[in-house]
């Protein structure tokens, strides 16, 4: 006999809880989406909130582009994000493999240094980073936006754990066959950790796409602003139009959702493979 059939109450409770969590996590997003579609003259702060716009319009999205040069900002964000993803995937894989497989003096200390680096909040070193970029004549460049997060400690540790989790016997066999370190890395180890690389790609894309404070501090020229800074202009000093802000938010979030949908197959595999092992 089916166990579930015996306890319908429990299943109802389970689904109610799941629905409640769903409402909490996507409710605010739905509110933004519905606000971005509302026409002028609709109550947007009504309580309880009204999710279906009575005069739906896409004009708010067009108006975002009128108020701020949103495509230029998006291009800057994309450049920064792609550079960040590339640097993190390559850099973290190389460093992670070295930490997991190479034997060299002080390896444990290097791993410890990466763990400690996780504990330093970025905000506390931001001013010194800014002074550094200035002295390197890099302030107000997109390169300066990318550099501090180019190979992040978290990603290096993720990759290290993924490589350490692979069976060493396979690599030993190829070692006997005469493969050098580079060949073992590219032919054997790397293809086995695709999932973790997808995790690193998504994390670094999200990090650089959402970052606000660092690009704000290091960039002066509005032409170089990234999307998060640019869309912040929609919050007017005097009266801000919530519909525009909502439309801007949706524009900013859309690429993240697309990226996640494209990589989700690898993502869940990767989270299971690399992240949970200490």
Integer Cα distance of 62 and 70 in angstroms? 10
Burial classification of residue 123, based on how many CB atoms lie within 10 Å of its CB (0-12 exposed, 13-18 middle, 19 or more buried): exposed
Q: 62, 112, 213, 257: which one contacts other proteins (CB under 8 A)?
A: 213
266: left (phi over 0), alpha (psi -120 to 50) or beta: alpha
Q: State which residue, 96 or 230, has the beta carbon closest to other proteins.
A: 230
Q: Which residues contact 148 (CB under 8 A, 6 or more apart)?
A: 122, 129, 214
Q: Least distance in Å: CB of 169 to other proteins?
A: 48
Q: Which of residues 68 and 202 has its CB atom nearest to other proteins in the complex?
A: 68
Minimum distance of other proteins from residue 87's CB (angstroms): 24
Binding pattern for the stretch 42-61 against other proteins, x by CB under 8 A and - elsewhere = xxxxxx--------------
Give me the least distance between CB of 15 and other proteins, in Å please: 30
Binds other proteins by CB under 8 A, chosen from 156, 158, 229, 250: 229
**Residues 86-145 contacting other proteins, CB under 8 A:** 121, 123-128, 130-131, 134, 139
Q: What are 19's two structure tokens?
A: 């629905």
Q: How many residues bind other proteins (CB under 8 A)?
A: 40
Copy the structure tokens of residue 270: 């990767």
Instruction: Answer yes or no: are the C-beta atoms of 61 and 38 closer than 8 Å.
Output: no
Among 59, 110, 232, 253, binds other proteins (CB under 8 A): 232
b/e for 199-236, b at 16 or more Cβ within 10 A? bbbbbbbbbbbebeebbebbbeeeebbbbbbbbebbee
- Contacts of residue 278, defined as CB under 8 A and 6 or more positions apart, other chains included, come to 161
Q: x/- binding map, residues 66-85, to other proteins, per CB under 8 A?
A: -xx-----------------
Among residues 61 and 267, whose Cβ is nearest to other proteins?
61
Stretch that binds other proteins, among 8-16, 142-150, 199-207, 211-219 (CB under 8 A): 211-219
For residue 36, which of 253, 268, 267, 249 has the smallest C-alpha distance?
249
Which residues here bind other proteins, judged by CB under 8 A? Answer: 40-47, 67-68, 121, 123-128, 130-131, 134, 139, 212-213, 216-217, 220-222, 229-230, 232-239, 241-242
């Amino acid at each position: 006999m089916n166990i579930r059939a015996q306890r319908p109450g429990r299943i109802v409770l389970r689904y109610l809880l799941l629905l409640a969590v769903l409402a909490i996590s996507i409710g605010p997003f739905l509110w933004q989406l519905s606000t971005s579609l509302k026409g002028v003259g609709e109550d947007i702060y009504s309580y309880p909130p009204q999710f279906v716009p009575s005069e739906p319009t896409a004009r708010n999205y067009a108006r975002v582009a009128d108020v701020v040069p949103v495509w230029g900002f998006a291009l800057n964000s994309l450049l920064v994000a792609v550079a960040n993803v590339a640097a993190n995937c390559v850099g973290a894989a190389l460093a992670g493999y070295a930490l997991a497989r190479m034997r060299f003096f002080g390896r444990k200390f290097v791993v410890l240094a990466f763990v400690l680096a996780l504990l330093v909040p970025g905000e506390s070193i931001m001013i010194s980073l800014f002074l550094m970029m200035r002295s390197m004549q890099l302030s107000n460049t997109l390169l300066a936006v990318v550099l501090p997060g180019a190979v992040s400690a978290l990603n290096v540790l993720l990759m290290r754990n993924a490589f350490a989790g692979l069976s060493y016997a396979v690599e030993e066999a190829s070692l006997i066959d005469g493969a050098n370190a580079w060949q073992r890395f590219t032919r054997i180890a790397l293809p086995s950790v695709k999932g973790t690389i997808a995790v690193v790609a998504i994390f670094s894309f999200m990090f650089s796409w959402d970052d606000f404070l660092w690009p704000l501090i290091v960039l002066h020229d509005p032409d170089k602003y990234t999307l998060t800074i640019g869309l912040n202009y929609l919050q007017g000093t005097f009266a801000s139009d919530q519909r525009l802000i909502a439309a801007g938010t949706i524009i900013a979030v859309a690429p993240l959702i697309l990226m996640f949908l494209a990589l989700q197959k690898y993502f869940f595999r990767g989270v299971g493979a690399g992240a949970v092992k200490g």
